[in-house]
Amino acid sequence: MAILAVGSVAYDSVRTPFGSADNVLGGAATYFSVAASYFSDVAIVAVVGEDFREQDLDVLRGRGIDIDGLERAKGKTFRWAGEYSFALNDCKTLDTQLNVFGEFKPKLVEKHRKAEFVFLGNISPDLQREVVRQVERPRLVACDTMNFWIEKHFKSLLETLKLVDVLIINDAETRQLANEPNLYRAGRKILSWGPKALVIKRGEYGAIMLKDNSIFGVPAFPLEDVFDPTGAGDSFAGGFMGFLAGSGDLSEAAIRKAIIFGSVMASFNVEKFSLERLKELTFPEIQKRFKEFKQLTHFEDIE
Amino acid sequence: MAILAVGSVAYDSVRTPFGSADNVLGGAATYFSVAASYFSDVAIVAVVGEDFREQDLDVLRGRGIDIDGLERAKGKTFRWAGEYSFALNDCKTLDTQLNVFGEFKPKLVEKHRKAEFVFLGNISPDLQREVVRQVERPRLVACDTMNFWIEKHFKSLLETLKLVDVLIINDAETRQLANEPNLYRAGRKILSWGPKALVIKRGEYGAIMLKDNSIFGVPAFPLEDVFDPTGAGDSFAGGFMGFLAGSGDLSEAAIRKAIIFGSVMASFNVEKFSLERLKELTFPEIQKRFKEFKQLTHFEDIE
């Protein structure tokens, strides 16, 4: 089993200028694992409530995702409601109901302890460490976080970062975490805390990867129809980790390709609500968009 | 004479979180022509007042810029004052005094009418057309504009766009001009009005070029010290046009390289106040940063 992903599986209610969707399948672990499933085996560790629909399990099963670590608890599934304005980079959270997710204590089954790649979705840094400690010999640990944990659990987050190889966050989180307005100074500070690479997601502006000795940047895919940005960051992480796990290659060249595959998966995800676009992709479509990224960004070097 | 640049030559007072500078050399035509001067011959058409300092003329002369079209009129030089917060993409204009620039009527001398490349800085679209009409056979006309002209002189601006090959504006101006929130839809609309290419400057997020049959995107150069963003857009335009005029090549490959050279010049410009960094560059420094852009953005294609 290649990738173990821990995080939320949720029901989302989303409003955008282009329409709305109520109680649709969402959650960080969902978007991540469906995106990663095009490249690698992936297992999900999460909790859902008694109200979780069979058809949504089928979305995960349909992508060959190992759901043996998907616990079903008494109570309701985690719910999130949000609204996007025309500036799709901004999202206003309307409602959050943790429900069964509030008591989530990930306990890995035997086979999941052998995972080589671990993705720690946006959960408490205490729980993130709990998960890493249960994995026998992880080859690569990637992690997401958010403003809440940075503000309220900073010290615990620093402890988690010591165990993390790749931190995948957005630019506001980067600046907030380092308490530094310049993105590159902020990034350098964060790298000194443990992660070997920092991947900064910038929504419609693309992504940047910082390492001690290199920086890589790519614009976002030019889309004339962005329908729903929900899950773009987790789809990015899924494409990124999926490619690395699938290829087993952690060279600089492979990591750069992984950033592009992450960007590809994020770009598909925002084309429809929920997992609608992400779950129906074909690998040739993914490859085609990768090549379009090459055309988008290529220029000849000078002598 | 290769490039003719029309626009403001100004005295700026700038405050940033990192310091301030009062009554320093600025203006769109100044930044543009100094940046372009590293690649090509360039002549400036502008007006200054009686207070314009000899040492500032020397900055232009020192870069070999043809200042025969720099009129000296009775009164004071155009003045602009602005303030940047830590979010250096946002600038608050504190004061604008048009002074002699308010009566500016560009009249080209004979040799300037033979210009092959014309850059229309951010002046009234009526005046921009006046300038183009005086040039005998321009090979490439590029143009900048701003929210004021879009709001107050939209029809005149549309007339100007019919004469323009490359429109170089920022992303807010793109959306405002087309009255369309999606950047790529907005761009496509603008291309239908005349320009063959639209170059969208996105500050710290880089630049995008849209043409009917291609899109090119590049992130901005990662800088740990951004000192003063004033003039970045005009420095970009100067590097862009300078490279095209200097090489005489208008192929897709050349235009993509030109976007990189524009990004290079903008990245140098923001490292110091006023023209301080831009005027002291060497061509090897420029080439080195171009190659750093290649390293920043390169990834291997898939089979």
Q: What is the ipTM of this complex?
A: 0.94
| Distance (Å, whole) CA A124 – CA A202 | 23
B29-41 confidence digits (pLDDT tens): 999 999 999 999 9
Asked whether the predicted pLDDT for residue B89 surpasses 80, the reply is no
A298 contacts on B by Cβ (under 8 Å) = 256
Is A259 in contact with B298 (Cβ distance < 8 A)? no
Rounded distance between C-alpha atoms, residue B121 and residue A292, angstroms: 33
A78: nearest Cα among A58, A98, A54, A103: A98
CB within 8 Å: A291 and B301: yes
Q: Domains of chain B by range and CATH?
A: 3-297 (3.40.1190.20)
Residues in chain A whose beta carbon is closer than 8 A to a beta carbon of chain B?
17, 86-87, 181-185, 188, 202, 204-206, 208, 214-219, 222-226, 253, 256-257, 259-260, 287, 290-291, 294-302
Angstroms from A294 CA to nearest CA on chain B: 7
pLDDT exceeds cutoff 90 at B91: no
- B237 closest CA partner among B165, B155, B134, B160: B165
Q: pLDDT digit string (tens) for A130-158? A: 999 999 999 999 999 999 999 999 999 99
pLDDT of residue B52 exceeding 80:
yes
Q: Is the pLDDT of residue B66 over 70?
A: yes
| Interface contact A214-B298, CB threshold 8 A | no
Mean pLDDT on A247-272: 97
Which tens digits make up the pLDDT trace of B249-303? 999 999 999 999 999 999 999 999 999 999 999 999 999 999 999 999 999 999 8
A180–chain B nearest CA distance, Å: 10
- For residue B241, the model assigns a pLDDT of 98
Q: What is the rounded distance in angstroms from the CA atom of residue A31 to the CA atom of residue A36?
A: 9
Task: Retrieve residue A50's tokens.
Answer: 């008694």
Dump the DSSP string for B252-286: HHHHHHHHHHHHHHHHHHTTSSTTTTGGG--HHHH
